[in-house]
């Protein structure tokens, strides 16, 4: 009995924080995708009132003020030093890089063409996750992911007439930095709440976004309109803060590769919003692509 007691004392049971149920995690990730699908149409609205640099900088400042207020109200402690590096990657990729590059692209590209970057984002995120975390999804997962990406890419390129634009460099750059930010954010969301991950990333950017906003607003003209204000408000609070909040929670619950594949539906949702909000048109290929994407999503979720 003494030996057993000693052994028990020497080997305490590790307490593991409970994780979100996978069903709830899938719902949260899907809500994040829905929020993200409105980003491009909202950015197009925002560009009606603000210049591209002003829109990106003010977006970051507003989102950081909301996030910082939440962190302060909840009495959240400063992140540990070991988390600063991953938070910097999230900030550089998701808070600064992706909004800046896609906003610049949308000056000369339609939202349909810009949706190409989102169509390839799930596959790119899965690759980054495999390289960064050592995850090894099954062959069936990769086949379904590639098939879904090809379907979305073919559809969105077809919608833009098949021609490459000068904005493609910005779009593919945005693809890479966002996938890196998603991967690091998903890893961090396993050790801290998802809203704190994006909250601290936004706050870390304030020393850059505040002076950038002041400088951009002094050089770029501002023509306030209802569309412009609503677009800015959504990309700042809806896409950048609330969308990423539920997205990171979902990734922590169901895993980065599986959550990333839910984004295969994002380009199609973006096209729907673009038709409703911007008056853009797409062909009858949309429902066929939607069915193909849903099949691919179902396969990846079971793999």
Cα separation, 154 vs 234, whole angstroms: 29
Sequence-distant (6+) residues with CB within 8 A of 20 are: 28, 249, 250, 252, 253
- Confidence band, pLDDT 50/70/90 cuts, at residue 163: low
Compute φ and ψ for 140, nearest 5 degrees: -65, -35
pLDDT tens digits along 256-270: 777 877 877 888 888
pTM: 0.77
- The vertex-53 CA angle with 51 and 59, nearest 5°, equals 95
Whether 245 shows a pLDDT value over 50: the answer reads yes
Average pLDDT for 227-250: 89
Instruction: Residue count of the chain, please give it.
Output: 303
The reported pLDDT for the residue numbered 21 is 60
Average pLDDT for 92-115: 87
The answer to whether the CB of 193 falls within 8 A of the CB of 77 is no
The answer to whether the CB of 20 falls within 8 A of the CB of 253 is yes
Cα separation, 7 vs 2, whole angstroms: 9
103: which 2 tokens?
């906003």
259, HSE (Cβ side, Cα atoms, 13 Å): 34
């Amino acid at each position: 009995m003494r030996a057993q007691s000693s052994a028990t004392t020497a080997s305490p049971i590790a307490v593991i924080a409970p994780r979100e149920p996978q069903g709830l995690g899938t719902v949260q990730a899907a809500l994040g995708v829905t929020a993200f699908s409105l980003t491009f149409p909202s950015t197009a609205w925002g560009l009606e009132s603000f210049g591209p640099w002003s829109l990106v900088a003010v977006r970051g400042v507003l989102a950081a003020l909301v996030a910082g207020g939440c962190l302060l109200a909840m009495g959240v402690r400063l992140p540990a030093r070991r988390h600063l590096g991953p938070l910097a990657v999230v900030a550089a990729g998701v808070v600064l890089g992706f909004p800046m590059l896609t906003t610049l692209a949308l000056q000369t590209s339609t939202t349909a063409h810009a949706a190409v970057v989102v169509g390839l984002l799930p596959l790119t995120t899965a690759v980054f996750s495999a390289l960064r975390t050592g995850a090894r999804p099954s062959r069936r997962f990769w086949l379904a992911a590639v098939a879904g990406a090809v379907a979305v890419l073919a559809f969105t390129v077809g919608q833009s007439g098949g021609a490459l634009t000068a904005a493609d460099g910005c779009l593919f750059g945005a693809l890479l930095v966002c996938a890196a930010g998603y991967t690091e954010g998903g890893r961090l969301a396993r050790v801290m709440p998802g809203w704190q991950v994006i909250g601290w990333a936004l706050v870390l950017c304030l020393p850059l976004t505040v002076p950038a906003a002041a400088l951009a607003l002094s050089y770029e003209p501002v023509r306030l309109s209802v569309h412009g204000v609503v677009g800015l408000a959504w990309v700042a609070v809806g896409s950048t803060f609330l969308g990423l909040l539920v997205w990171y929670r979902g990734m922590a619950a169901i895993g980065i590769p599986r959550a990333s594949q839910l984004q295969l539906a994002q380009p199609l949702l973006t096209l729907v919003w673009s038709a409703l909000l911007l008056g853009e048109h797409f062909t009858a290929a949309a429902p066929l692509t939607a069915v193909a994407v849903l099949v691919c999503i179902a396969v990846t979720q079971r793999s």
